[in-house]
Structure formats: structure tokens, C-alpha cells
Amino acid sequence: MMDALVQLRSSLHRHGWWRTLALIPRNILFRLTDFDRKHGTNTGMQAEDDAGLPREHEGYEGAPPRLFHRIIRSLDIAPARYAFIDLGSGKGKALLLASHHPFRRIIGVEYNPRLDAIAAANARIYRHPERCMHRIETVCGDAGAFELPPGDLLIYLFNPFKAAIMERMLANLESALQADGERDVLVVYQNPTQRRLLDEAPFLERVAYREYRTRRLRKMPIGRVAVYRNH
């Protein structure tokens, strides 16, 4: 309540009455729908999130919930067969969302120790009626060198890194597939800036590419997703 009053006073000071009144519905909507406000978690972007990281890293941004669930549903898979692995898991937002689906395992790999610790705390805090997976495994390390677990995998990439790390990650995946080629591996690549590298990987086949749009609000574009499968 105090928060809201301070914000109102500062808005009046900066924007005056008319603009402040016009902004109220938008602010109410934000407060009602904001993920962290609702769940007591810390998944938002902060200026210090990307401080001091190598240039090959992309910055932190948490997965958008509705889009995430739309993507998972579009795969038409039985989640219980797959380990969900988020390479570049940040503060664990995609891991929290994955916990609504009955995956065999849920694992996040994050390079930045600060974000990894926040992800582990979020996994403990997050209560959602649709959460069905309690165990979320968080690993602090380089996704390009992560030893992939056995069995069927759903590897989720939300634009985590640039070409050099992606090449290492693909070489790592190729070795894992050579060791066990019988399994099913799906790679879901959201905002696929390094898509060419996956398109050219001889052990992967692109099975879908889709631009997602909002269902209402003038059908605005909200994300592009490429899906690959091993063969």
C-alpha cells in the first residue's frame, strides 16, 4: 500500500494528473499479473545480472510463462519420458514453469553463480497449484561442457549464448548422441539467433519453426521458436 502511494506521488510529480490517471489501469494490470509479485520469487531482470560475464554470453531474461507453456504443449510429447534441461537457466524461471509438466527430471545449468543461487532459492519458494514436479536440479557451470544425462532429453535454449559456446554445446551433444543414439533428443530454441549452426548440424533435423503471436491485442509477435530432433 505504502509502495503504491509513493509511486502515485512520484508519478503526479513527474507526469501530472491527466497522464497519471491514464497510467493507472496499466499499473493495476501489471501488479495483478507480475510473476514475482504473485509467487514471491525473484526472476526479473536487474542491471547487475550480466555484470562481468564473457562477451560470448547473452544477457539474462526470464522465459515468458504463457509462451513457454504454449511451446511445450505444441511439442505433443509425453513429458514423463524426457529430462528437461535448460542450458543457460538464469534465475530458473523456465525451470519453475517446466515444473508444471511431469518431466522425468528438471535440470538447469547456469554459468553465473549469483543467478544460479537465485534459481535454487526460487525453486524452493515457488508454489503454484499446477506445479507437479517438486525436484528441480540446478548446476552452476558452463553449458557448453555440461555432461548430458542418459535417456530422452528436451534441451531448452532461450537465446543463451553466441556462436562459440553454441559450437561447443553442439559438439558435446554430438558426442552424447554417438555414445547413445537410440534416445530421442529434442532441442527447443527460442529466439534462435544462432539457428544456422543448428540447421547445419548433421545429427539434427529441424522439425518446426514458428513465429508466436499474442492471441489477442492485435496479434503482436512475441517470439520465434525452432525445434530440432536427432536422427
Binding residues for ligand SAM, rule: CB under 6 A, are 57-58, 60-63, 86, 88-90, 93-94, 109-112, 115, 142-144, 158-161, 165
Closest CB to ligand SAM among 79 and 90?
90
Closest CB to ligand SAM among 20 and 158?
158
Least distance in Å: CB of 88 to ligand SAM? Answer: 3
Closest CB to ligand SAM among 20 and 144?
144
Nearest residue (beta carbon) to ligand SAM: 88
Least distance in Å: CB of 84 to ligand SAM? Answer: 11
Closest CB to ligand SAM among 88 and 192?
88
Closest CB to ligand SAM among 119 and 177?
119
Which cell goes with 163? Answer: 556462436
Least distance in Å: CB of 45 to ligand SAM? Answer: 9
Phi, psi values for residue 108, rounded to 5°: -120, 140
Closest CB to ligand SAM among 11 and 162?
162
Phi, psi values for residue 198, rounded to 5°: -75, -35
Which class for 206: exposed (0-12), middle (13-18), buried (19 or more C-beta within 10 A)? middle
Which cell goes with 221? Answer: 509477435
Tell me how far apart the alpha carbons of residues 154 and 195 are, in angstroms, rounded to a whole number. 17
Least distance in Å: CB of 169 to ligand SAM? Answer: 8
Least distance in Å: CB of 215 to ligand SAM? Answer: 21
Least distance in Å: CB of 90 to ligand SAM? Answer: 3
Cβ density class 6-28: b for 16+ within 10 Å, e for less: eeeeebeeeeeeeebeeeeeeee
Which cell goes with 222? Answer: 512475441
Tell me how far apart the alpha carbons of residues 4 and 36 are, in angstroms, rounded to a whole number. 16
CB 88 within 8 Å of CB 58: yes
